[in-house]
Amino acid sequence: MKHFKLLLLAGFVLCSLHLTAQHSTDAAKIKEVEATEARMFKNMNFTRYKEYYKTDVADDFFTINADDVTADKAQSFADTARLKMVEIGTLKLIDKKIRIYDNVGIANGRGQVYVDNMLVVEFLYTAVFVKRNGKWMYTSWQGTMSKDSPKFGAPQQ
Protein backbone atom coordinates (compact mmCIF):
# COMPACT_ATOMS: atom_id res chain seq x y z
CA MET A 1 0.00 0.00 0.00
CA LYS A 2 2.88 2.35 0.83
CA HIS A 3 4.43 1.78 -2.63
CA PHE A 4 1.08 2.42 -4.31
CA LYS A 5 0.75 5.78 -2.55
CA LEU A 6 4.30 6.73 -3.57
CA LEU A 7 3.62 5.73 -7.19
CA LEU A 8 0.37 7.67 -7.17
CA LEU A 9 2.10 10.75 -5.73
CA ALA A 10 4.90 10.48 -8.30
CA GLY A 11 2.29 10.23 -11.06
CA PHE A 12 0.56 13.39 -9.86
CA VAL A 13 3.88 15.26 -9.70
CA LEU A 14 4.87 14.16 -13.23
CA CYS A 15 1.46 15.12 -14.64
CA SER A 16 1.65 18.49 -12.94
CA LEU A 17 5.14 19.14 -14.32
CA HIS A 18 4.02 18.12 -17.82
CA LEU A 19 0.97 20.40 -17.69
CA THR A 20 3.06 23.32 -16.42
CA ALA A 21 5.62 22.83 -19.21
CA GLN A 22 2.83 22.57 -21.82
CA HIS A 23 1.18 25.74 -20.50
CA SER A 24 4.41 27.74 -20.75
CA THR A 25 5.03 26.40 -24.28
CA ASP A 26 1.50 27.40 -25.32
CA ALA A 27 1.92 30.82 -23.69
CA ALA A 28 5.07 31.40 -25.74
CA LYS A 29 3.32 30.27 -28.93
CA ILE A 30 0.35 32.55 -28.16
CA LYS A 31 2.74 35.52 -27.91
CA GLU A 32 4.34 34.50 -31.23
CA VAL A 33 0.94 34.25 -32.94
CA GLU A 34 -0.15 37.58 -31.43
CA ALA A 35 2.93 39.21 -32.97
CA THR A 36 2.30 37.42 -36.28
CA GLU A 37 -1.33 38.57 -36.32
CA ALA A 38 -0.29 42.17 -35.54
CA ARG A 39 2.23 42.02 -38.43
CA MET A 40 -0.50 40.68 -40.71
CA PHE A 41 -2.92 43.51 -39.91
CA LYS A 42 -0.11 46.09 -40.23
CA ASN A 43 0.90 44.84 -43.68
CA MET A 44 -2.48 44.10 -45.27
CA ASN A 45 -2.68 47.37 -47.15
CA PHE A 46 -1.62 48.67 -50.53
CA THR A 47 1.54 50.34 -49.22
CA ARG A 48 3.17 47.29 -47.59
CA TYR A 49 1.54 44.11 -48.89
CA LYS A 50 3.99 43.04 -51.64
CA GLU A 51 6.93 42.06 -49.43
CA TYR A 52 4.58 40.63 -46.79
CA TYR A 53 2.99 38.28 -49.34
CA LYS A 54 6.44 37.06 -50.41
CA THR A 55 7.66 36.30 -46.88
CA ASP A 56 4.68 35.70 -44.57
CA VAL A 57 1.71 34.41 -46.60
CA ALA A 58 1.58 30.66 -47.18
CA ASP A 59 1.41 29.34 -50.74
CA ASP A 60 -1.83 27.52 -49.85
CA PHE A 61 -3.44 30.70 -48.44
CA PHE A 62 -7.22 30.97 -48.83
CA THR A 63 -9.61 33.73 -47.81
CA ILE A 64 -13.37 34.03 -47.43
CA ASN A 65 -14.32 37.67 -46.98
CA ALA A 66 -17.36 39.24 -45.39
CA ASP A 67 -18.54 40.43 -48.81
CA ASP A 68 -18.75 36.83 -50.15
CA VAL A 69 -15.47 37.07 -52.10
CA THR A 70 -13.15 34.06 -51.90
CA ALA A 71 -9.57 34.05 -53.13
CA ASP A 72 -6.36 32.05 -53.07
CA LYS A 73 -2.95 33.70 -52.57
CA ALA A 74 -2.51 34.87 -56.17
CA GLN A 75 -6.07 36.24 -56.42
CA SER A 76 -5.78 37.97 -53.07
CA PHE A 77 -2.41 39.49 -54.05
CA ALA A 78 -3.94 40.82 -57.28
CA ASP A 79 -6.94 42.41 -55.50
CA THR A 80 -5.31 45.81 -55.07
CA ALA A 81 -8.67 47.61 -54.88
CA ARG A 82 -9.42 45.79 -51.61
CA LEU A 83 -5.96 46.59 -50.28
CA LYS A 84 -6.40 50.29 -51.12
CA MET A 85 -9.78 50.25 -49.37
CA VAL A 86 -8.12 48.95 -46.18
CA GLU A 87 -5.87 52.02 -46.03
CA ILE A 88 -8.83 54.41 -45.91
CA GLY A 89 -9.97 53.41 -42.44
CA THR A 90 -8.59 52.91 -38.96
CA LEU A 91 -8.91 49.40 -37.57
CA LYS A 92 -9.78 48.64 -33.98
CA LEU A 93 -9.60 44.99 -32.82
CA ILE A 94 -11.62 43.80 -29.84
CA ASP A 95 -12.62 40.50 -28.24
CA LYS A 96 -9.46 38.83 -29.56
CA LYS A 97 -8.65 35.25 -28.65
CA ILE A 98 -5.84 32.97 -29.78
CA ARG A 99 -5.81 29.20 -29.51
CA ILE A 100 -2.82 26.96 -30.19
CA TYR A 101 -2.91 23.43 -31.57
CA ASP A 102 0.71 22.27 -31.89
CA ASN A 103 1.92 24.17 -34.99
CA VAL A 104 -1.44 25.84 -35.74
CA GLY A 105 -2.52 29.15 -34.24
CA ILE A 106 -6.12 30.30 -34.62
CA ALA A 107 -6.87 33.95 -33.92
CA ASN A 108 -10.39 35.27 -33.85
CA GLY A 109 -12.16 38.36 -32.70
CA ARG A 110 -14.10 41.38 -33.82
CA GLY A 111 -12.83 44.24 -35.93
CA GLN A 112 -14.25 47.72 -36.30
CA VAL A 113 -13.21 50.08 -39.09
CA TYR A 114 -13.59 53.82 -38.61
CA VAL A 115 -13.36 56.57 -41.23
CA ASP A 116 -13.25 60.12 -39.89
CA ASN A 117 -14.10 58.75 -36.41
CA MET A 118 -17.29 57.16 -37.73
CA LEU A 119 -17.82 53.40 -37.52
CA VAL A 120 -18.29 52.18 -41.10
CA VAL A 121 -18.09 48.41 -40.64
CA GLU A 122 -17.83 45.81 -37.93
CA PHE A 123 -16.81 42.24 -38.72
CA LEU A 124 -16.02 38.98 -36.98
CA TYR A 125 -12.90 37.20 -38.13
CA THR A 126 -10.85 34.06 -37.89
CA ALA A 127 -7.23 34.05 -39.04
CA VAL A 128 -5.18 30.86 -39.18
CA PHE A 129 -1.41 30.73 -38.90
CA VAL A 130 0.71 27.60 -39.36
CA LYS A 131 4.29 27.32 -38.14
CA ARG A 132 6.45 25.98 -40.97
CA ASN A 133 10.24 25.77 -40.86
CA GLY A 134 10.27 27.77 -37.62
CA LYS A 135 8.10 30.64 -38.95
CA TRP A 136 4.40 31.37 -38.46
CA MET A 137 2.76 31.74 -41.88
CA TYR A 138 -0.60 33.39 -42.57
CA THR A 139 -2.65 30.61 -44.17
CA SER A 140 -6.33 31.49 -43.95
CA TRP A 141 -8.83 34.26 -43.30
CA GLN A 142 -12.57 34.19 -42.83
CA GLY A 143 -14.56 37.35 -42.17
CA THR A 144 -18.26 37.77 -41.45
CA MET A 145 -20.24 41.00 -41.13
CA SER A 146 -21.32 41.58 -37.56
CA LYS A 147 -24.99 42.05 -36.83
CA ASP A 148 -23.87 45.31 -35.17
CA SER A 149 -22.28 46.64 -38.37
CA PRO A 150 -23.84 49.92 -39.54
CA LYS A 151 -26.52 49.53 -42.23
CA PHE A 152 -25.87 52.31 -44.71
CA GLY A 153 -28.78 53.24 -46.91
CA ALA A 154 -31.26 51.50 -44.62
CA PRO A 155 -34.19 53.54 -43.30
CA GLN A 156 -33.47 55.13 -39.92
CA GLN A 157 -35.68 54.00 -37.05
Residue 22: give its domain's CATH number: 3.10.450.50
Asked, for residue 150, whether it belongs to a domain, the answer is: no
* Own/partner pairs, 104-109, CB within 8 angstroms, 24+ separation: 104/128, 104/129, 104/130, 104/131, 105/29, 105/30, 105/32, 105/33, 105/36, 105/129, 105/130, 105/131, 105/136, 107/33, 107/34, 107/37
Q: Give the range of the structural domain holding residue 140, as residue numbers without chain letter.
A: 2-145
6-26 pLDDT per residue, tens:
554 455 555 554 444 444 578
Rg of the chain, C-alpha, whole Å? 21
Residue 18 lies in a domain: yes
Task: Say yes or no to pLDDT of 107 above 60.
Answer: yes
pLDDT at 156: 45
- Whole-model pTM? 0.78
115 domain-assigned? yes
Report if residue 155 sits inside a domain.
no
81-105 pLDDT per residue, tens = 887 777 888 999 999 999 999 999 9
157 located within any domain: no
